[in-house]
Amino acid sequence: MSLDSLINRIRMQLKKRALFAIFDRDGTLVPYNPIPEKAIFAQSVKNLLLDLAGCPRTLVGILSARDLRQLVRDFAQQELILAGNYGMEINFPNREQNFVNKIAISSRPLLDAAKKMIIENLPSETRTILEDHQLTLCLHWHLTPDQHLKKVQDLISELKHSLPELFVHSLPTSYEIWPAIKWDKACGLSEIERILRIDWQHWLPLYAGDSPSDEPAFKWVNDRQGISLHVGRQNESIAEYQIESPAQMTEFLAELVKLAK
């Protein structure tokens, strides 16, 4: 469906429902960077999100694989709902309804053991990047030279054997190391729904994301007669609408702010 039809649908829906807009971070609002710490919000995009959050009858949030510390650095004033680690940790603007998954917290010693294994067994020449997200770990191997890929794969196999209490998710360019929790972004959205007691007869959910990890969130939104928006040129998605890039996403945000005012 076209962007024009998306705008028209939102315009009609906002006549009878308030807006609940949640966005993935990397690849959706922020262009990817090979070095994760260099993937930063443009101030113009931040301003649009804050403008949207300031509109009447509007809730705005970020739901990311990044940890809550990163999201708080992005939005220190807490005007937005900030959900890190796929929503295993959530801060709300009033700071009185914050959530952290207790099982994830209790698994930190296991993650420390995994982190130690990775640091001790992957030398600098592998060019891996280890991100410690507190409740999860992410080992990026997209910069690893071909001759060192087996070293990374062998280490992951050993980690699975030595620490079977942890889950290892294989992604296209990284491994995510998790507590043994069945969790995805739909679970994070459900926690927000539960805590805020949202009635979908009165609220229009909108979710935008760019990767396979966003598919559960797309389904969650579709099930609530909301709007699912895939960012990127990939066609294999259950999202109802598609935007080509974070740059076009910025244009959409500007239109969304106009509609919500």
201-244 pLDDT tens trace: 999 999 999 999 999 999 999 999 999 999 998 768 999 999 99
115 Rama sector, left if φ>0, alpha if ψ -120 to 50, beta otherwise: alpha
Same-domain pairing of 83 and 140: no
Same-domain pairing of 221 and 254: yes
Same-domain pairing of 188 and 89: yes
> Do residues 86 and 184 make contact, with C-beta atoms less than 8 angstroms apart?
yes
Domain region containing 206: 3-100+183-260
In whole angstroms, give the CA distance from residue 222 to residue 212: 16
Same-domain pairing of 32 and 58: yes
Final residue before a domain boundary, out of 123, 144, 178 = 178
Reported in sequence order, the residue ranges of 79-219 that DSSP labels E, i.e. its strands, are 81-84, 89-91, 99-100, 129-132, 137-140, 167-171, 174-178, 203-209
Domain of 89: which CATH number? 3.40.50.1000
Contacts of 99 (CB under 8 A, 6+ apart): 89, 90, 191, 195
**101: confidence class by pLDDT, cuts 50, 70, 90:** very high
- Give the model's pLDDT for residue 2: 73
Closest by alpha carbon to 87, among 101, 77, 71? 101
Same-domain pairing of 30 and 142: no
What is the overall mean pLDDT for the chain? Answer: 95
In whole angstroms, give the CA distance from residue 142 to residue 210: 18
**What is the torsion angle, in degrees rounded to the nearest 10, for the CA atoms of residue 126, residue 130, residue 136 and residue 142?**
-60
> What's the total number of domains in the chain?
2
Same-domain pairing of 172 and 191: no
Same-domain pairing of 89 and 195: yes
Closest by alpha carbon to 65, among 44, 94, 92, 36? 36
Same-domain pairing of 83 and 118: no
Same-domain pairing of 62 and 83: yes
- Give the model's pLDDT for residue 1: 59
Q: Is 77 exposed, middle or buried (0-12, 13-18, 19+ CB in 10 A)?
A: exposed
**pLDDT tens-digit profile of 160-192?**
999 999 999 999 999 999 999 999 999 999 999
Same-domain pairing of 192 and 244: yes
**3: confidence class by pLDDT, cuts 50, 70, 90:** confident
pLDDT at 77 over 90: no
Same-domain pairing of 9 and 95: yes
pTM recorded for the entire structure:
0.94
Q: Give me the sheet containing 167-171, strands edge to edge.
A: 129-132, 137-140, 174-178, 167-171
